[in-house]
Structures are given as structure tokens and as C-alpha cells.
Amino acid sequence: MLYSKAHNLIFGHYPKTAGTSMLEWFQRVFPDALVLDQRNYHLDLRAGLRRLHLWNRQRMNPFHHKPRVIGVVREPFEMLVSLYEFWQRCPNHPDPSCEIVTASRNYNFKAFLKLATDGHQVPRYEDFFALSHPGQSTVRLIDFDNLEAGLREALDTRDIDVDISLRRTNCSPSKRTDLSEYVEEAGPLMLDVHRYFAWYYTDGVRLMASGKGSPRLTVSYRPAFRTFARGIARPRAA
């Protein structure tokens, strides 16, 4: 998490949502930006505000001085695949004993998904960004698939006029992953992912900044998921 006191602006870094590119950009355009925890770039919003002494629990107002917050959200299944592949190919992790990191390296994708959702090892977006609290109106989330346009839209609503040019770093070597094999391996766990990340599919797709008015969900695996879901809803006759 980064904080610019001069602009009263926070960037919340949710894993595998272009965070490395966003961190580089944030520090370039806001030179006063501070990393709140060098050991954990993925602090959730509550933890970050406590570090800044801005989480006022007594008054039930977690955003007492109302810092403005931006973050990026990505289609959850695609994000989980990216996280799984990233931890497989990157040996360094601040906590190598972390259960879900170990699962990504030693077990199959289904075991990883079970830990992520049933085991609550990967936070929901609404929890990470404290969207259930009164100060959530200060949070502006950006569509991963329309990153620069969404970032411009989010900053325009906060009257911040800075350069918007992101360098894509820390990406998968093949860029966009073909998710069809992961969908097939996940099987019924696809429904668990949709239930666990229900906020994204019901509210997030309507609220996130995309620079295109009404955001659209354009993810390559969705036709496969619809086919899978129809099979669950209409099982074959015996």
C-alpha cells in the first residue's frame, strides 16, 4: 500500500491486479508517496489506515480524515489463475511457509482453489478494501481490463490531473493465459469461486471505473463457464 500525503491519496495493492505497474506509476507521479510496509505490499485498507492512525474505531468512522483510495479489481477466476501461476514460477515469497503458496507449488489447481475460497486464504475484494464500512464512498476501484482509461476516470472524479502511462511489469510470460483448461479442472469449484466473490459479479462490475461508462465483463473463459453452468442446472436424464 502506498500513501501520498500531499494528495491525501492511497493506492491499495490487491495481488495480481497490475499492482507492480501501479506502484511504479504512483511513485513516479506522486514523489512524496510512502510504502506503508516494506515487508508486505499487500496490506488491506484497514491495516493501512491503522498505520496512518486514520482508522477511528471509537467513532465508528474508519475514514476519519477521508483519504481517497484507488485500487484495481480483476475478474476473480482469472486473478486466481494468475496468482497460482505466479507463485509457481516465482520462488521468492516473504513467507514461504504460507499455506496457499505451498499449495500452488505442491498440489493441483483444485486444491489451490479450495484453499483460496473455502479456506479464505485469498481475501474478497469487499473485505480487502473495507467496502462494508461508512467510509467506503472514498474508495474508487478500477477495471483491470481497462486500466489506463479507468484510472483516468477515477482520478478525474478526484480532481487529480497527472500523467497516465503505465509500464506493464511482472506479467505472465505468455501475457493472457488460456483459461479453458483451468475451467475444466476446476469443475464445480467454479461455482464456489462465483459464490465467494459474489460482490464482484453483482456490484463490482457495475461500480468499477473503466473509462467506458457501463463496464463490461469481457473474459475469455465465460462461454466455457456458461456451458458448465448449464450442465449443472440441467443434468442428463438417467
Can you give the pLDDT at residue 221? 46
Beta-bridged to residue 143, according to DSSP, are: 73
DSSP state of 237: P
Could you give the CA distance from residue 198 to residue 100 in angstroms, rounded to a whole number?
Answer: 21
Average pLDDT over every residue of 22-49: 90
Taking the domains of the chain in order of start, what are their residue ranges?
2-233
The CATH number assigned to the domain with range 2-233 reads 3.40.50
- Rounded Cα gap, residues 126 and 69, in angstroms: 13
Q: What is the mean pLDDT of residues 24-51?
A: 89
Mean pLDDT of 132-158: 84
**What pLDDT is recorded for position 238?**
43
Ordered alpha helix ranges (H), the chain: 19-29, 45-51, 76-89, 99-106, 109-117, 125-128, 147-156, 180-186, 189-196, 198-199, 205-207, 222-233
Closest CA to 142 of 57, 7, 17: 17
Average pLDDT in the 164-177 region? 66
In the predicted structure, residue 114 carries a pLDDT above the cut 80: yes
Instruction: Match 477511528 to its residue by C-alpha cell.
Output: 56
Average of per-residue pLDDT across 205-210? 89
Q: Angle at CA 48, nearest 5°, toward 205 and 54?
A: 105
All three cell numbers of 33: 508517496
Q: Which of 133, 131, 122 is nearest to 208 (CA)?
A: 131
**Number of Cβ atoms within 10 Å of the Cβ of 238:** 3
Q: What is the mean pLDDT of the chain?
A: 81
Count how many residues are written for the chain: 238
pLDDT given for residue 218 in this prediction: 41
pTM over 0.75, yes/no? yes
Side chain identity at residue 227, one-letter code: T
In angstroms, the CA 100 to CA 33 distance is: 30
Whether the per-residue pLDDT at 147 is higher than 80: the answer is yes
